[in-house]
Amino acid sequence: MKKVNFALNFVAGAAAIKDTDTKATGERNDCFVRAVMNACQVSYDEAHAIAATEFGRENKKGTKGAHLKLKTMAAAGEKLAGKEIQCLGIFSATPVTPAKAKEKNILLNLKYPKGGGTYSGFTVGKFRDQHAKGSFIILVKGHALAIRDGKIYDNADQLDTLFLTKGRDQRKALAIYRVK
């Protein structure tokens, strides 16, 4: 099995938590809080408060409806932790044409054509590889993570097996938001 140099492309989602972040103690199911913290570069306590007030998150429970709330905020020009957010797109289970993608706000990976003028969406790894600069919140099935300047900020227990062995994260990105 090939060992991955995690320093090149992975940062533990909790790495930015400081001793002064009192809300982190005993928390769980806080992946969205950590994604906001790392993408927006704010304290854990600030991200925790945002998740509670803006997204209705309860302590020790996941953030339900994060995608719809983020999408609504982005469309209304609202800010997240004082930063602009933009919905880059959502995932489509079936390959689509660029015209159809634009109509439905589907984010296509134009580097990988599927044939017949269609393209598929992004995996976390392919998105990271193609977006070396910037901050992003990525929603995958039942989980949220951040990518900032080409590094994945996530919980190690959520990583894809391929990432752990070969450095390739194959999780489907269900929605991607740019934070700037």
Mind spelling out the 3-state secondary structure of the chain?
A: CCCCCHHHHEEECCCCCCCCCHHHCCCCCCHHHHHHHHHHCCCHHHHHHHHHHHHCCCCCCCCCCHHHHHHHHHHHCCEECCEEEEEEEECCCCCECHHHHHHHCECCCCCCEEECCEECCCEHHHHHHHCCCCEEEEEECCEEEEEECCEEEECHHHCCHHHHHHCCCCCECCEEEEEC
Residue 78 lies in a domain: yes
What is the residue range of 49's domain?
6-179
> Quick one: pLDDT band at residue 118, thresholds 50, 70, 90?
confident
Higher-scoring residue by pLDDT: 119, 72: 72
Residue 17 lies in a domain: yes
Mean pLDDT over 26-52 rounds to: 96
Residue 97 lies in a domain: yes
Is the per-residue pLDDT at 84 higher than 90? Answer: yes
pLDDT for 169: 75
Q: Which residue has the tokens 């660029």?
A: 98
Mean pLDDT over 113-121 rounds to: 87
Is the per-residue pLDDT at 7 higher than 50? Answer: no
Phi and psi angles of residue 141, each rounded to the nearest 5 degrees, phi first: -55, 115
Report the share of the chain in percent with pLDDT over 90.
Answer: 61
> Which pTM value belongs to this model?
0.88
Residue 139 lies in a domain: yes
pLDDT for 116: 87
Q: What angle do CA 86, 155, 37 make, to 5 degrees?
A: 45
Q: What is the pLDDT of residues 124-143, one digit of tens each?
A: 989 998 998 999 999 999 99
pLDDT for 93: 84
> Quick one: pLDDT band at residue 161, thresholds 50, 70, 90?
low
Residue 42 lies in a domain: yes
- In angstroms and rounded to an integer, the radius of gyration of the C-alpha atoms of the chain is 16
178/95 Cα distance (integer angstroms): 23
178/57 Cα distance (integer angstroms): 21
Mean pLDDT over 102-119 rounds to: 89
Number of structural domains, the chain? 1
Q: What angle do CA 85, 12, 90 make, to 5 degrees?
A: 35
Asked if 21 and 131 count as a contact pair (C-beta separation under 8 A), the reply is no
Residue 1 lies in a domain: no
Higher-scoring residue by pLDDT: 7, 47: 47
Residue 39 lies in a domain: yes
Residue 30 lies in a domain: yes
The two three-digit tokens of residue 136, written as one number: 């992003």
